[in-house]
Structures are given as C-alpha cells and as structure tokens.
Chain A
Amino acid sequence: MRLRVCEGQGEVGHDVNIVVRKVIQDGGLEVGLRLYVLPGRCVALGWCGAVVVVRVVAQRWCSSASPRITTHYSVVPRETDARWADVDMERYEDEADVVVVGGGPAGLSAAIRLMQRAQQEERELRVMVVEKAADIGGHILSGACLEPRALEELFPDWQERGAPLNTPVTKDVFSFLTEKGRLNIPILPGMPMHNHGNYIVRMGHVVRWLGEQAEELGVEVYPGTPASEVLYRSDGSVAGVATGDVGIAKDGSPKDAFARGMELRAKCTVFAEGCHGHLAKQLYTKFNLRENCEPQTYGIGLKELWEVAPENHKPGTIEHTVGWPLDRFTYGGSFLYHLAEDQPLVSLGFVIGLDYTNPYLSPFQEFQRFKTHPSVAAVLRGGTRISYGARALNEGGLQCIPKLTFPGGCLVGCSPGFMNVPKIKGTHNAMKSAMLAADSIFDQLTDEKNAEAEWVEPVSYETTLRDSWVWKELHAVRNVRPSFHSPLGLYGGLLYTGLFYVLGRGKEPWTLKHGVRDAERLKPASEANPIAYPKPDGEVSFDLLSSVALTGTNHDHDQPPHLTLRNDSVPVERNHGIFDGPEGRFCPAGVYEYVPLESGDGVRLQINAQNCIHCKTCDIKCPSQNINWVVPEAGGGPAYDGM
C-alpha cells in the first residue's frame, strides 16, 4: 500500500482539509482528512488504523497586504525559517526531583513544604524553582490583606523567623460611594470583609522572605529564568520545562549572542504561574483539564503605593468601597489599606471584573477617577505616589477549578484559581493548595512502587484539597460573584450576598453559573457609549505613561514582541473595526496603540512590548482571543518593590 500526501493550505490554529490518496494496487481511493494545524509541528491522526503524519512545510500569510507584526517563534516556527538553518539548537539538560514553575506564594510554599518533608524523613531531594522576574518578589502585585492561616501551617514560628507581617488589621470599613458622597455600611462578624486576625502586608516582601526561607532549606531558586516550553516524554507525560532562549532579534532572526534555553527535567513539575499562566493555558488543552468546569472569569486589579502625610495615616485600617465610579452593571470596587511600616504608607487600588461590556471602559482611568473622590483625595493630598502596577486576578471560584493533576505534574495557586472573591483574598488558599500538592508529590516520590517510575502524578492532591478548609471556604462563597449577573447588577449581588452568604453561609443547594466568557462580553462600539474621563490633575490622578515609568518595567527592545498575535490582520479588521480597539484601553501599561497609517487612510496596531507589566489582561479580554501572551526574554518585566 502506498500513501501519497497532497498539499493542503490552512491557518495556524484551525482545521485544514488535506486530501490523501491511498493507492491500492491498481486502484485508488481518495479520502479527505481534517487535521488540526499546530505551528510548525507534525500533526498525527488515526485513519483506518494507520497513523498519518503530516508536516507543515510552509506558512503562508493570508494576504500580502496583511501587516507583519508577530515575529515570535511560537507563531513563526524556526524549523521552517531559513535564517535558523545552521543554528545549533541543542539544549543543556539537568534533572531534579521536582521543578516548580513560578516563584510566588504558591510556588515557594510548594518548594518549602517538599524540603520540610525531606528533612523530616531524612531524604535527599533536589527541588528547583524557576521565576521569570529578575528578583524574587519583583513581579508580585497584591492588595494585600493576608489571612495567615496557611503561613501558620507552613511556619508556625513565622514571627521569630521575621516574616514581614507588620500591620495587624485594627479597623474595617466598607462603604458605598456616590460621586461626592460616601455611605458606610456596618461590618459584622460573618461578613466576608471582616478582617480580624489578618495582616496588611506588602506581598512582594512576604514573597522575598519566603524565597529566603526556601533557599535556607536548600531549594535552588533561579530568578531571571522564564520557563518558556513544557517538555513531554514519548508517553505524553510532562517531563519538565525548558527555560527561554535568549538572543533573538526583533525580526525573529538569531543574534550573535543567541543562546538556547536549558531543559530542566523532573519526575514531577509544579505549575505555579499565577493567574492565567501561559504554560497552564497549553496544559489545559493538552490534557483536557477544563472539560468539567466553567471557563475562568477574571478581574483586573490596579494598585498604587503612596507615602501620605502623617496626619492622614491610620495604620491598620482597611477600607473597601463599591459604587462610584462604576455603574451597577460593572463589577468592581476599591481597596485602601494603611500600612504600618517605616514610612506612612498607604496601599490603594481598584479591581474591575473583566466581564464588563463597554469597550470604551478603561480600568486605568476608572482607578484614577476613583482617587478624585473627596474622601479618597483627602487621604492622598500632600502625599507622594511611589509605585504603580496592575495584574489580572481570577474570580471564578469553585465553578472554574479545573482538573489539577496530570501525568508528571500539577497546577497550584492562582493558576487554577482559588481566590475567595467576596473576601478579596486568594493567597492563603494558593499557599495551602501548594502545600497539599507538595505533600502528595512527596508521598508519591518516596513510595517504593514509584522507585523506577519516570514520573509521578500527585492524584491525592485533589482529594486532600476537596477535604480541606480551602474547599469549604470556596463552596460557601461560590454563588456570590455570579449573583452580580442578574438585571439588578450590583444591588442584586449585594442582596444575594447578604441573604445567602452572611445569613445562609452558602448552604443553598444550587450553584449559579458564570455564563459567557469574559472575552465574549464586549458590546460592539456602535452599541456602546464612549466614556469621558477627566484629565489627570497631577496631584492625586496621573497619566498612563508616568504611571508605567513607576513600575520600573523594561524589556530588551531587540527581541520579538512577546504579545503574539495568532493572526496579524485581526486587530485592525475586528478589534478596531468592531470594538474600536479596546486593548488600547484595558491594557494598564499602554502596550497597544492604534496609530494612523502614513498613507492617511486607516490605522495599524503598534505593540509597545517594552511597556508590558505581565498582567495578562490582554490575553484574557481580547474579544477575538487573538492575543497570546508568551514569556519574554530573561529578566524582563516590572521591578516591583513590596507591591
């Protein structure tokens, strides 16, 4: 039997029709095959018991007029690129027992727990943590009010060890804002925002401290090391990760300084990338981890650190607001925490649910506008803004938790997403999930049955998680966030929370659904009203670019933009054509700009990749789901200090 494959044409990420001619002696049989095209890779499909392997040999662009924006090798494969023909693509390999991707609260807690178990049971263990930020804590951004529950379990002696939990909460305020007014709503014990026993922290400093504890325990921590690729064995299990290549020019060609990343192989790989991790995205598809859960829903959180005048400083005070400047159909609110540190610091910010419908909404501008409210400006006036940043956060809760384990690895922390939305806290759950995963991994690794195994899957992690306080907590609040989707909007949500959470403790037998994905919620620009935001006053509100400068973000300019587009013509045709370019408004760092063409008619998308602060909002909210955020070259991104 001979097989002759004829050429087919298609687009990356879509099905392509290929005709395969099966020649049987003197006859012939034509069969059409539908194959899924992946960038530059062989696709296999079973057919009549035989496996047909098709190699994508060339990638042709849809039309010669389409702009060339994306040069990253994840979209333009190097296997078919003539400029890479003579480059040595060999990678160094190293092996550990466990590799953890992500040096945040979850990743470090997992590593720490593994080494604690190893010490207790006197076993040797090699644990590596890879983190894309140049310094541990450099990409961490959180409110934050920390519930120390998980930390107490990890380090009962955290106080002696000097964990930077310096500000116990002494006062809790919840208010409803109108344009000029403020209505305080009394907080009773049992309400989600009752914070007695919690601490206001600078999460970046807590993570830095966790990093030091991890290194003391013998964990190998590698900052400035992004994980760019998941490695698989021939049996489909996860073998580890490969760190990013360096030295690729903006046009996608190799520079003299090109150096391949390194392969870090392990029996178990823990993915702790935080909200909407880029490798986790691939794992969901590869192992079908989301078939029994709803698509995740998100919010974007913007935050600033202010040094305020001492008379405006009330250390230990927590303030939350809902209402102005958002309308009742846009989920969101603010936080303002007074820290007790060396200087009179206030951490304040604004969270907006990414299920908002108006393409003209700018989360950054809403945040700046919020600060002009008389009660807020009063705190800030006379002070200095010392930091700014933003990050997406997960809001889906219980309904959106995927399957957490797969052969050779598992997901922990905000990556699968365990945030308690009404409490506005996720770190304690993230850490606990990581600790449970670590226990399960350690048990598997030390089980005699697995002595010769190439990989382990920490299956008991899902069970122990479901039996833990994390699950109880998330179950109790599961209906709060979806309750905001009724026609009553904010009021419906507050009513529901009051009735069913505060009074009923979440025991109602039903579970509400979130419904449509965030990316599909935007109304076309023609059906929406532009919002006239006030100009920054330079005192409490500021412009975008001076804010971005405060993040300390930087990327080497001569590299392919890491905000990759699946299709370079979609932004102008669809995002701009239908939605008036919402990415120019929801990006908190000014990465996306629609600039007029030199020829005068029309616009083109300009991607200022250097500004990116790694918040992941664009990947989440792009209405065409055309933006795929991948990890940039080593060490790039914001330089947050204690954010």
Chain B
Amino acid sequence: MSLRVLVGVKRVIDYAVKIRVRPDKLGVVTDGVKHSMNPFDEIAIEEAVRLKEKKIAKEVVAVSCGPTQAQETIRTALAMGADRGIHVEIPAKEVEKLEPLHVAKIMAKLVEQEKADLVVLGKQAIDDDSNATAQMTASILDWPQATFASKIEKTDGELQVTREVDGGLETIKVKLPAVVSADLRLNEPRYATLPNIMKAKKKKIAKMKAADLGVDTTSHFEVLEVADPPVREAGIKVEDVDTLITKLKETGRI
C-alpha cells in the first residue's frame, strides 16, 4: 500500500527573534523580520519523508498557504525530501487574518484534488498557537484524526499512533485515510543540506489562490488589540516568616 502524503508547512517568525508589537497595536512587526518553517511542520515533513524511505508512502507533497515568500518555506521542505509543492498564495496584508478554518478547508479541497491518503500537519503554529487545523481538516473530510503523535507505525491499512496526552502516552489505531498532527518527540528533522537545496530547485511548485479552490477566506473574527505582556515587577525579600504572612495578608493572598 503506497500512500500519497500531503504535508502542511507554515512560514512563521523565527522562534529566536524578539517579537515587537506594531505601532497600530493590531499585530506584530513582520516586515524584514527573520522567518523560518514552523518547527512542528519540520517534524511533519521529516516523518512523511521517512515514510517514503520506508516505502510506506510513494509521494510527499508540501503545501503552504501564505505570501510570496512562503515559496522559500516550500523549497526547504523540498530540500528535506518532499517531491513537489503547492503554494496557495495569500496576499501579504491578509496573511495574519488567515484562520485555521480557512487552511483546513483548503487542505480538504487539496486532498480531493490530489487524491491524498494521509495528511500530516504540525500540531500547532508557533505564532498563533491555535492547535486547530489538523482537527478541523479531519472533521471536514470526515476522516479519523491522530493528534500530538510521538510515534507512527503502519499496520495493514491502519496506523498505530502513540499520542502525547496530559496523563502520559496513549496509543490508538486509526484507519486510513487519516489526519495526523506531529508533536515534538516524533522525530529529529534532518538538515536541508546544500546538495539537496540545489536539487530542490528543479522540483515543481504549483501556484494557486484560495478562490481557485472555492474557499472563502473572509475573517470570522476581528482583532481588537495586541499588547506586550505586562513588565514583571521586582520582588521583595522579607526578613522572617511573620513578615511574610503579613505581606501575604496585605495583598489579599491569604
């Protein structure tokens, strides 16, 4: 059984960069800021490529919904081993308004078009921390979902997935086709080395718009304000336990 795997990759602000709130307080500064592939998506691509190396998958398609520069993110995925890419172009001004529901609808449409058997996504994006796209995609497709995967094994037409949950680890079986979301410990992604980057230049990236897929990207909600977290106040040292109790009473903690 040879699967065609669709993997979503998102271009996000690099995790090491210090975020700044925009002067209009409706978002963060993204112009000129260093971006890279969402770390969980790197893990997703790595897992899909490993499935291909184990001959469980026959093709890995990397998908990104984003501005023109999202092509660089797709190129990185291609350099890691994906076979071809699909870039759903979103105008720069609308990128931050794109919601998990829109992406899920886009992914569902692409699954139909590409006749994919497996969708692997990162569990969440490090900019919005939504943790919703995989679940919504599965729901729209009416496919089983295996989220927060830390191990994936294939058993006859089914996937055995170990999930990281609050209480520990949960192992479930899901029938294919399915949607999986990758968690941190699933694998350690390979580096996109220069020879592979050079080879990736020859791989194809198809371009399209959300409207071409019949997906409406109108926002469902409006951002009212984005603000920095409050500055941490300095603490004080107290002399003894009695003073501590007094202080705690003063501030209404006890």
Interface residues of chain A, those whose CB is within 8 Å of chain B, are: 92, 94, 134-135, 138, 205, 222, 225, 243, 246-247, 255-257, 259, 261-262, 343, 386, 549-550, 552-554, 634, 639, 641-642
Contacts and interface: CB of A to CB of B under 8 A. Distances in A.
B14 A246 contact: no
A172 to B, nearest CB: 28
A92 B16 contact: no
B160 to A, nearest CB: 23
A135 B33 CA distance: 10
- Which secondary structure characterizes the binding site on chain B? loop
Nearest to B15: A554
B194 A262 contact: yes
Interface string B191-202: 101110110000
B36 A134 contact: yes
A138 B15 CA distance: 15
9 contacts: A222-B197, A259-B190, A259-B193, A550-B18, A553-B16, A554-B15, A554-B16, A639-B14, A639-B17
Given A550-B18, A554-B15, 16 more contacts: A94-B195, A134-B34, A225-B194, A243-B194, A246-B191, A247-B191, A255-B188, A257-B191, A259-B190, A261-B194, A262-B194, A386-B20, A554-B16, A639-B14, A639-B33, A641-B33
Contacts of A255: 188
Interface in B14-44: 14-18, 20, 23, 32-34, 36
A549 B18 contact: yes
A524 B39 CA distance: 47
Contact of A138 (B34, B189, B190, B194): B34
Contacts of B198: 94
Contacts of B191: 246-247, 257, 259, 634
Nearest to B23: A343
B34 A135 contact: yes
Given A134-B34, A639-B34, A552 B193 contact: no
A341 to B, nearest CB: 11
Top 3 closest pairs, chain A to chain B, by CB: A554-B16, A639-B34, A641-B32
A559 B189 CA distance: 15
A94 B15 CA distance: 33
Contacts of B16: 552-554, 639
Interface of B: 14-18, 20, 23, 32-34, 36, 188-191, 193-195, 197-198
A247 B17 CA distance: 23
A642 B189 CA distance: 30
Given A554-B16, A642-B32, A257 B188 contact: yes
Contacts of A553: 16
Nearest to B195: A92
A257 B34 contact: no
Contacts of A135: 34
A40 B17 CA distance: 38
- For A205, A243, A257, A386, the residue with the greatest tally of chain B CB atoms inside 10 Å of its CB is A257
- For A135, A255, A550, the residue with the greatest tally of chain B CB atoms inside 10 Å of its CB is A135
Nearest to A555: B16
Nearest to B201: A220
A544 to B, nearest CB: 15
B70 to A, nearest CB: 15
Nearest to A549: B18
A641 B195 contact: no
Given A246-B191, A553-B16, A205 B32 contact: yes
A552 B194 contact: no
A262 B193 contact: yes
Contacts of A257: 188-191
B195 A552 contact: no
Nearest to A343: B23
A243 B195 CA distance: 10
A261 B193 CA distance: 7
A343 B23 CA distance: 10
Given A639-B34, A641-B34, A642-B32, A246 B193 contact: yes
Nearest to B17: A552
A247 B188 CA distance: 11
